[in-house]
Amino acid sequence: MRRAGEGVGNIIRFNWHFYAGAAGVALALTAGLVLRADSAAWRLGLGLALAAVLVPTVVSLLVSWYVYDLAGLYSFEWLDTGDAPPRQLVNIHAGFDESSARLCQRFPAAQLRVLDFYDPTEHTEVSIRRARAACPPYPGTEAVRPPALPLPAAATNLVVVLLAAHEIRRPAQRVAFLRELGRVLAPGGRAVVVEHLRDPVNFLAYTIGFLHFYSRATWLSAFHQAGLRLRTEQKITPFISVFVLENESAMMK
């Protein structure tokens, strides 16, 4: 079971340098407000600067708490598997796995394989290194390359890629990865790609951090190039999009 506040707690724990910096700046600005209390112009300028630091920080944490702790993202009750639970289930992540144990609980009869495409030469964020040091991998996790998944063709009922596919930054490699998802799907199988989008809602939540995500149009183009058909699309909160995909060529046979 996930602990209360685990999602937002992990964000703070693995990005503590950012929040420590924001707190330091906020304290300095607050001190400036006290020291220049006699000047209306200074109070206004420092107050606006303080708001510019505190408001985005607090809003992003509140949104993260809502998305990762309150909205049931990791319950997987929202996950549409079709007429029957999956027999062969693959979970793919980018170095930090919060989902495999929950998927195992959600589908206890499925044979689960966990693939990790983390590459320290490409994924250089200090937060990922801290997360990997703090949280051991799920037992049996396999290190993989996105364009070459070690899975047999047409043998997997369900592939889940939760908040990870955007970490494949090169467009050609991202399309190759998505093509691999289509290759491994069994007839009637589904690939579920879950992502934040580069859209106004996520900008309001994360300001310039939303640039780390991709737009809906970018994802739809990549799916099409990879030969995947969008079966359904849904929202888990306004901030998270779920794309359920099928192998387009298999559907045409």
**So what's the pLDDT on residue 223?**
98
Do 50 and 97 reside in the same domain of the chain? no
CATH classification at residue 205: 3.40.50.150
What range does the domain containing 46 cover? Answer: 6-70
Do 84 and 131 reside in the same domain of the chain? yes
1 in a structural domain: no
Q: Dump pLDDT digits (tens) for 118-145.
A: 999 888 899 999 999 888 999 999 999 9
138 in a structural domain: yes
Do 15 and 84 reside in the same domain of the chain? no
Phi/psi of residue 188, nearest 5 degrees: 85, 0
Exposed, middle or buried, 169 (CB in 10 Å: 0-12/13-18/19+)? exposed
8 Å CB contact between 111 and 84: no
Cα angle 94, 160, 138; round to 5: 55
Do 200 and 99 reside in the same domain of the chain? yes
pTM of this prediction?
A: 0.93
**So what's the pLDDT on residue 250?**
60
Cα separation of 175 and 124, whole Å? 22
233 in a structural domain: yes
Report the domain count for the chain. 2
- Identify the domain boundary among 55, 70, 85: 70
Do 79 and 52 reside in the same domain of the chain? no
- Identify the domain boundary among 70, 88, 122: 70
Q: Dump pLDDT digits (tens) for 199-231.
A: 999 999 999 999 999 999 999 999 999 999 999
98 in a structural domain: yes
Instruction: Give how far Cα 106 sits from Cα of 49, 86, 170, 234, 247, Å.
Output: 46, 10, 33, 20, 24
107 in a structural domain: yes
**So what's the pLDDT on residue 97?**
95
Residues of the chain with pLDDT under 70: 1, 250-253
Do 99 and 180 reside in the same domain of the chain? yes
Do 66 and 79 reside in the same domain of the chain? no
111 in a structural domain: yes
Do 65 and 171 reside in the same domain of the chain? no
8 Å CB contact between 82 and 245: no
224 in a structural domain: yes
